[in-house]
Structure 1
Amino acid sequence: MATIDVDFEVYKALTIRRETEEMTYNDVLRQLLSLGEQKSSENVTENLGALVFKGAEFPEGTQFRATYKGQTYTGAIKGGVWVDENGRVQNSPSEAAYSITGNHVNGWRFWECRRPSDTAWRSIDSLRPTK
């Protein structure tokens, strides 16, 4: 899944168009571009490989977890996309964190992951390349 950069004015305009808190920025763009609703991630059967966010690679089968207010939340890379425990596709770590907290938080510090080759959980922030 690709990441796009937008300026603050575009971000603000997209935010205003969100009809509910559950509506993602991807949903807003799909609506503006007349693309219709996104297909459910459950329909994805082809292994699309790893997902890369800002240089950090998460192979197929990578598991995510975060604890917020005493509850553990999970997700995984399935079919080349991040799918949360409710079956929703998440477009970034921060979007996935926002869907839980309802607040803008640094998703890179919020989530831990365990890739198929890992034996222990680690902060996803530790996987980002150093500048």
Structure 2
Amino acid sequence: MTAPQLTTTSQAAAEALIDRLARVLRDEIAAIGQGNLAEIEVQFPRKQQLLAEVEAAFADPAPLLEGDSPRAERLRAKLSELRDLLHQDMDILRRMTEATASVAREIERIRDRHSLRGLYDRDGSAGTGPVAPTQRFDQSV
């Protein structure tokens, strides 16, 4: 009878681990929504640690998830909720990364437009070529 007790204990530990990771993900998502981006850096090590623990706990998921016991069903439901939270968190972080890259490209474009690049050579003498690129117009209409 030790095996079922071990599984029950493991299920309880796995459930608590999932709850802790879900809490960290919710806190991170809320912080992003509030514009508190510094919180992402604070939460990252804890999130990474909990993800590693979840992967280790579910290396062999069969004993934890098999069966029709209320605890196994609850664990499967919590895993489904965790998957949804992970996808939501990843989507938000992906969009933040894309937005940051877009802003960086726009800043670089503005700097290029307002710089003296192209007006002077490296030695400080006036450049010989055109500063603005030639524009082509579609005259086929």
Between structures 1 and 2, the one with greater helix share: 2
Say which one has the larger Rg. Answer: 2
TM-score by length of 2: 0.25
Task: From the two aligned structures, give the one with the greater strand fraction.
Answer: 1
TM-score scaled by structure 1?
A: 0.26
Q: Which has the higher contact order (CA 8 A, sep 6+)?
A: 2
